[in-house]
Every structure is written in structure tokens, then in C-alpha cells.
Amino acid sequence: MPQDPHCLSLLARRLAAHGPLSNEDHAAIFALPCDVRTLDAARYIVREGEPPSICAVLISGFAYRQKLTSDGVRQIVSLLIPGEPLDFQSLFLSVADHSIQALTEAEIGFIPRPQMHALLVARPAVARAVLINSLVEASIGREWLLNVGRRDARARLAHFLCEFAVRMDAQGLGNSGGYEVPMTQEQLGDVLGLTAVHVNRTLRALEGDGLLKRDGRRIIFTRWADLRAEADFSARYLHLDQTAPAGAAQPG
């Protein structure tokens, strides 16, 4: 199987942010085989209920984790941005409890499970970083639960926009001119537990109040501090001190 230095360096950088890795750790990561494929938007990467098969890193584009109720209503439970590991939990569990789908066209590096597993056994520091990565994801999940359970549509949407911006910044994907939110209003609704119609109204309300400007799907933060206040946003739950070398810069 081929290797892909870019994919592996993304992975190494992400893991190194969660804890110091030795030269040997780095070398072991860079020895991984890695098959890069480009998937169209909406393609499934993992399907709920299936036995785990893959172990992947998102190189470019976006993906999400989703669950469905029996009557087909969707909830997006996690948004994955470039550089993030995709399905390392499959190394340890025997069925997928959720699906993973490409949100946009996405480049994904596939690493065979046996090699990844061997790496984690041989290199405890790497295993530790993978564990921390999953703890941070779980923390984000808890904040989403608070968001969906206890904040109204306006704060909920604002909160998501803040989180997206801060996470992108922390991954070094910041963009001072604003952010292209890579999803339709329907998908935003699926993240927030709202309908597309209400997302639309809420977005326009925020825009109408001057808290942001929009240009297509690009969001420009005109009054970041105010938006953040409306969102009741604090970056603590992102554990950025254990995710990025330095704290994330504020967008805007």
C-alpha cells in the first residue's frame, strides 16, 4: 500500500498537539501505509450497524457523524474538519454506533486497521494522544448537548458559528475575512436540532441585528464579541491547550 506524507504529517501534527511525541513516535507514524482517496459529497465513509473496517484521517474537505431515528429524521452529532482522525474508535468497538458521511468533497487517507493497531500497541505516547483526541471530541459532544437541550435557536446557531470559527483557527485554517460554512441550512438544522426554515429565519435575524454579514455561505463576523456573548460561548470545552501548540487566535 502506498504512503502519503501529507496525510501522515497531518496526523502526526494533530496527535503531537495532544502530548509530546518522541522521534521514534514520529518515525512510527510516518512508516504507516496510507491510501488517499477523494470522496464525493454525501458519500458514506462508515455506516451505522456495520462492523468497523477502516481507520482514516480527513485531509481536506469536511465530514460529519450522524444518527437517524427510526422514522428517518437525522441528527448530526459531530462535525469533522481537516486534519482530524475519522474513525479510530473502530479499532476498539465491534459495531459502528453512528454513520460518518462526507459533507463536501473530501480527501481521506485510509490506514489499515492492523497497522494502526500495531502502532498504538508499540507506541504508548501515540495511544495516549489518540485517547486525548477522543476525550476532546466527547467534550465537544457534551457542549452540543447543552446547546441543543438548553439554548434557544438564536444562541444555538450563534454558538455553532463561534465553535466552527475557533476550531478552524486552531487547526491553522483560519481566515480573517470570515468563514465559508460548508453546509446547507438543512444540514445546519440537523446539527442544531432545528428545521431548515427556522435556521434561515434565525440566520437572517442575526444578520438583521448586525451580528454578522453573509455572502452566500460565507459568514463574516462583524461583531465577534457580541456574537460570542449571544452564543454564551467559551472555548474551554475545546481544550485547545491540548489541541494546538498555542491558543487559538480569535477570528474577525
Binding site for its own copies (CB under 8 A): 48-49, 65, 67, 69-71, 73-75, 77-78, 89, 92-95, 97-98, 121, 124, 127-128, 130-132, 134-139, 141-146, 148-151, 155, 192-193, 232, 236-237, 239, 241-242
Q: Report the distance separating Cα 155 and Cα 152, nearest Å.
A: 6
Per CB under 7 A, the list member of 56, 103, 153, 158 interacting with DNA is 153
Task: Tell me whether residue 57 or residue 194 sits nearer to DNA (CB atom).
Answer: 194
SS (H, E, C) 20-72: CCCHHHHHHHHCCCCEEEEECCCCEEECCCCCCCCCEEEEECCEEEEEECCCC
What DSSP element (H or E) covers 191? helix 185-192
Query: Which residue has cell 473530501?
Result: 106
Angle at the Cα of 141 (from 252 to 89), degrees rounded to 5?
115
Task: Tell me whether residue 7 or residue 240 sits nearer to its own copies (CB atom).
Answer: 240
Q: Report the distance separating Cα 62 and Cα 184, nearest Å.
A: 13
Task: Tell me whether residue 214 or residue 239 sits nearer to DNA (CB atom).
Answer: 214
Q: Report the distance separating Cα 6 and Cα 27, nearest Å.
A: 14
Shortest gap between Cβ of 135 and its own copies (angstroms)?
5
166-205 binders of DNA (CB under 7 A): 184-186, 193-198, 200-204
Residue 72 CA to chain centroid, in angstroms? 23
For position 101 contacting DNA by CB under 7 A, the verdict is no
The residue ranges that bind DNA (CB under 7 A) are 152-154, 156, 184-186, 193-198, 200-204, 214, 216-217
